[in-house]
């Protein structure tokens, strides 16, 4: 914690709360008691600045001022009854029909956040290569056993060499 001292506001109680303010790159620590910290004016919420986290991120990403809420307040889902305001507060949709109901409002948001309105997903090429090598080695081992049973030793030696080559490349790629 911090060194025990008296409240910077009332100078009577022991300071239990540290408030760090950063203004213009200047860092200032203020140490307050519980009572004074609860009354500290910069923590008091006012209706003008009570925005949802989603709305703040939307506006940061867009670089715009806060939108007119009147148009968004009237949009509700006909299926579940959720409003766009509820979506903004929770960050979740109420049902699949919400996508259609809030479509005009969601599309720009999805484009800004994800760069697209269609989810494609990610594909790990390293993982796919590992799976491909494992299945290739298994297939070659079965073929090797078959060649040994048929006493086709030349083919078996060739398959053995392929398996060793794949395993060597795999180990080099994995850093072993």
Each domain of the chain, given as residue ranges in start order, spans: 1-44, 50-114, 125-174
Which residues are within 8 A (CB) of 55 and not within 5 positions of it... i.e. 6 or more apart? Answer: 66, 67, 88
Model pTM? Answer: 0.31
Question: Consecutive 10-residue runs of the chain (176 residues): their mean pLDDT?
Answer: 74 84 77 79 43 57 51 77 83 82 79 68 69 88 94 94 90 68
pLDDT at 49: 40
Rounded Cα distance, 87 and 32, in Å: 37
Q: How many residues in the chain?
A: 176
pLDDT at 111: 74
∠ CA 147-152-153, rounded to 5°: 100
Two tokens, residue 116: 């697209």
pLDDT at 174: 67
**Residue 124 CB-density burial (10 A; 0-12 exposed, 13-18 middle, 19+ buried):** exposed
Phi, psi of 134 (to 5 degrees): -60, -45
Q: What is the CATH number of domain 1-44?
A: 3.30.60
């Amino acid at each position: 914690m911090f060194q025990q001292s008296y409240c910077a506001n009332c100078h009577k109680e022991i300071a239990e709360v540290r408030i760090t303010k950063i203004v213009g790159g200047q860092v200032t620590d203020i140490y307050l008691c519980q009572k004074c910290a609860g009354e500290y004016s910069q923590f008091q919420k006012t209706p003008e600045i009570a925005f949802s986290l989603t709305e703040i991120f939307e506006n940061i990403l867009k670089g715009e001022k806060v939108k007119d809420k009147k148009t968004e307040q009237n949009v509700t889902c006909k299926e579940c009854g959720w409003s766009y305001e509820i979506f903004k507060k929770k960050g979740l949709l109420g049902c699949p029909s919400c996508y259609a109901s809030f479509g005009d409002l969601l599309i720009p948001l999805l484009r800004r956040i994800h760069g697209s309105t269609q989810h494609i997903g990610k594909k790990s090429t390293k993982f796919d290569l590992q799976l491909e090598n494992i299945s290739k080695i298994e297939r070659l081992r079965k073929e090797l056993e078959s060649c040994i049973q048929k006493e086709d030793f030349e083919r078996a030696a060739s398959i053995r060499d392929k398996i060793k080559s794949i395993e060597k490349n795999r180990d080099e790629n994995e850093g072993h």
